[in-house]
Amino acid sequence: MGSEEEVKVIGSCVSPFAVRTMIAFNIKCVEYKLIEENIFNKSALLLKSNPIYKKIPVLIHGQRPICESLVILQYIDEVWASGPPILPSDPYGRAIARFWAAYIDDKFFAAQYAILKAGGEEGQKAAAVEEATQILVLLEDAFTKCSKGRKFFGGDRIGYVDIALGSFLAWIRVIQKMCGVSLLDECKTPMLFQWAQHFCADAAVQDVLPETDELLEFAQLFVANLGKPTG
Amino acid sequence: MGSEEEVKVIGSCVSPFAVRTMIAFNIKCVEYKLIEENIFNKSALLLKSNPIYKKIPVLIHGQRPICESLVILQYIDEVWASGPPILPSDPYGRAIARFWAAYIDDKFFAAQYAILKAGGEEGQKAAAVEEATQILVLLEDAFTKCSKGRKFFGGDRIGYVDIALGSFLAWIRVIQKMCGVSLLDECKTPMLFQWAQHFCADAAVQDVLPETDELLEFAQLFVANLGKPTG
């Protein structure tokens, strides 16, 4: 499969996981066709392309579907290897990046989801916020080690861990507006606070992360539908 | 970090995740020092080397720790690139292998754990067994597509998905003995049944997978301690 085949992404900018794919293609300067998915009414193409998880994003390269956002990021980095790299060039750097990206999906996503799910349950919400904050404090420490004084986890350029965490920034803003919770705190995690500004200002990210009000509308619908089957 | 640095593995053959690391080093014909870990009384070295998850395996290469078994497998494949490959050579093959290995950790491990946790609760046990069986049926289908009539997911040789799933085979045997449940069924998943024989007979695997009775003893202790903090 060559890098010149047709590139389609089943996704939506409301999904942080789909946003990752879009940022990666922007970094690589690769044109792709976005097939907008409605997660409340899943398309036949999505169900056929990702029968296991039935989730976005799916990258369709030529005729072949590739699922799971972190798998897709690595695939993009390997196929379009002539563009700027997404993963570090050395095996140890790649191992550390894979570790933290998996950690973000395992822990931070769950904590963010728990805040949304808690709704008006103040005790549950406080516990979920505390959990998310602890995770971000750990990531602040990881940032110091990975970035070595530079702007990004990936160094001077946005890399794998930047994309993994940065894809949640729009949801962090929505949670602030919806739940009155400031997750990325200038006092508790000053480096990540600054990192977030750099990340959002990057040319590969700017037009991809959704506006807060636009995402807020979706988030309210999403929370109202929590627990209901989505097809 | 060169491939000639000292190689240590904090692990134990009772852990399917640690077993993966050992199999990978056997494939690559790399000597390593196993630092046997007691998961009921975790060592200072483990807590220092994997402060985030506090889990085995940890690979210590030179002075640097690498955590999480699938991250370790990819690291080993990249550092000892001159040995037989563990991941497929093409990006699409690698994406598919990464997808299934993550699926195994996400779904099959959880189902196997649920069977052990169910204990005498017959309803819970039946549900967990049904879940595990459905996962194995899906993996049977994946095997057909990946192996293309050859012996392994990886083709003629054991690869990434083989190691990810095969590392659970000793536990599958223990569950059969302990819970009277035959997960890898010759009728329901005939290809995987055959694959398991090939896998266990492989030179890289033979001396690594624990004997059923030895693991059974550990499993009984493990189940008795479920829910208790392990340090």
Whether A192 maps to a domain, the answer reads: yes
Whether A127 maps to a domain, the answer reads: yes
Task: Return the C-alpha torsion angle B145, B147, B149, B155, nearest 10.
Answer: 160
pLDDT tens-place string over residues B96-150: 999 999 999 999 999 999 999 998 889 999 999 999 999 999 999 999 999 999 9
Q: What is the pLDDT of residue A226?
A: 83
Q: What is the pLDDT of residue B211?
A: 92
Long-range interactions of A202-207: CB distance < 8 A, separation 24+: A202/A158, A203/A26, A204/A23, A204/A26, A204/A27, A204/A158, A205/A23, A205/A26, A205/A158, A205/A166
What residues have CB less than 8 Å from B181, skipping those under 6 apart?
B115, B125, B129, B175
A173 shares its domain with A73: no
Whether A1 maps to a domain, the answer reads: no
- Whether B61 sits inside 8 A of A99 (CB atoms) is no
Res B186 pLDDT > 80: yes
Interface mutation target, options B3, B5, B75, chain A, most CBs of A under 10 Å: B75
pLDDT tens-place string over residues B5-19: 999 999 999 999 999
A75 shares its domain with A96: no
User: Which of A52, A78, A79 faces B138 most closely, judged by CB atoms?
Assistant: A52
Phi/psi for B60 (5° steps) reads -110, 110
Interface mutation target, options B52, B140, B160, chain A, most CBs of A under 10 Å: B52
B21 shares its domain with B53: yes
CATH of the domain at A48: 3.40.30.10
Instruction: Report how far residue A91's alpha carbon sits from residue A78's, in angstroms, rounded to the nearest whole number.
Output: 14
Contact A144, A201 (CB under 8 A): no
pLDDT tens-place string over residues A79-137: 999 999 999 999 999 999 999 999 999 999 999 999 998 988 899 999 999 999 999 99
Task: Give the count of Cβ contacts less than 8 A between chain A and B.
Answer: 62
pLDDT tens-place string over residues B146-161: 999 999 999 999 999 9
CA distance A213 to chain B (A): 34
What percent of chain A stands above pLDDT 70?
97
Looking at the structure of chain A, the number of domains it has is 2
- Whether A74 sits inside 8 A of B98 (CB atoms) is yes
pLDDT tens-place string over residues B75-92: 999 999 989 999 999 999
What residues have CB less than 8 Å from A219, skipping those under 6 apart?
A116, A171, A174, A178
Whether A86 maps to a domain, the answer reads: no
Report chain B residues touching chain A, CB-CB < 8 A: 1, 52, 61, 64, 66-68, 70-72, 74-75, 78-79, 90-92, 94-96, 98-99, 102-103, 138
Q: What is the pLDDT of residue A119?
A: 81
Res A1 pLDDT > 60: no
Whether B230 maps to a domain, the answer reads: no
- Average pLDDT on A55-81 reads 97
Q: In this structure, what token pair is assigned to residue A217?
A: 């509308």
Whether B119 maps to a domain, the answer reads: yes
Q: What is the pLDDT of residue A225?
A: 87
Q: What is the pLDDT of residue A208?
A: 95
Whether B1 maps to a domain, the answer reads: no
Task: Count CB-CB contacts under 10 A for residue B229.
Answer: 5
Domain end marker among A49, A79, A109 = A79
Residue with token string 């990004």: A152
A29 shares its domain with A118: no
DSSP, collapsed to helix, strand or coil, labels residue B40 as coil
- The per-residue pLDDT of chain B, averaged, comes to 94
A65 shares its domain with A151: no
- Whether B71 sits inside 8 A of A98 (CB atoms) is yes
Instruction: Report how far residue B81's alpha carbon sits from residue A105's, in angstroms, rounded to the nearest whole number.
Output: 28
Query: Nearest chain A Cα to B141, which residue?
Result: A52
Count of alpha carbons within 13 angstroms of residue B220, beta-carbon side = 7
* Chain B residues with CB-CB distance to A96 below 8 A: 66
Domain end marker among B79, B106, B126 = B79
A129 shares its domain with A72: no
* Chain A residues with CB-CB distance to B92 below 8 A: 1, 61, 64, 66, 75
Q: How far is CA A72 from CA A61, A149, A205, B91, B183, in A?
A: 11, 28, 17, 10, 31
- Average pLDDT on A168-185 reads 93
A154 shares its domain with A217: yes
Report chain A residues touching chain B, CB-CB < 8 A: 1, 52, 61, 64, 66-68, 70-72, 74-75, 78-79, 90-92, 94-96, 98-99, 102-103, 138
B124 shares its domain with B147: yes
CATH of the domain at B129: 1.20.1050.10
Tell me, rounded to whole angstroms, the distance of Cα A147 from its chain centroid.
19
Q: What is the pLDDT of residue A66?
A: 98
Residue with token string 């309210």: A220
Instruction: Report how far residue B195's alpha carbon sits from residue B144's, in angstroms, rounded to the nearest whole number.
Output: 11
ipTM of the shown complex: 0.95
Rounded to 10 deg, the angle between the A169-179 and A109-118 helix axes is 20
Instruction: Report how far residue A107's alpha carbon sits from residue A115's, in angstroms, rounded to the nearest whole number.
Output: 13
Highest mean pLDDT among A23-27, A177-181, A184-188: A23-27
What percent of chain A stands above pLDDT 90?
87
Q: What is the pLDDT of residue A2?
A: 65
Structural domain for A217, as ranges = 91-223
- Whether A66 sits inside 8 A of B92 (CB atoms) is yes
Query: Nearest chain B Cα to A92, which residue?
Result: B75
Instruction: Report how far residue B165's alpha carbon sits from residue A28's, in angstroms, rounded to the nearest whole number.
Output: 34
Element (H, E) at A217: helix A212-224
Whether B38 maps to a domain, the answer reads: yes
- Average pLDDT on B57-76 reads 98
CA distance A9 to chain B (A): 16
Domain end marker among B45, B79, B113 = B79
Q: What is the pLDDT of residue A22?
A: 98
B72 shares its domain with B169: no
DSSP, collapsed to helix, strand or coil, labels residue A132 as helix
A106 shares its domain with A153: yes
Q: What is the pLDDT of residue B231?
A: 47
Instruction: Report how far residue A94's alpha carbon sits from residue A92's, in angstroms, rounded to the nearest whole number.
Output: 5
B70 shares its domain with B124: no
CA distance B37 to chain A (A): 21
What percent of chain B stands above pLDDT 90?
87
B147 shares its domain with B109: yes
Residue with token string 């950690």: A103
Q: What is the pLDDT of residue B225?
A: 86
Adjacency order of strands within the sheet including B64-67: B33-36, B7-11, B58-61, B64-67
Residue with token string 């693991």: B215
Q: What is the pLDDT of residue B1?
A: 53
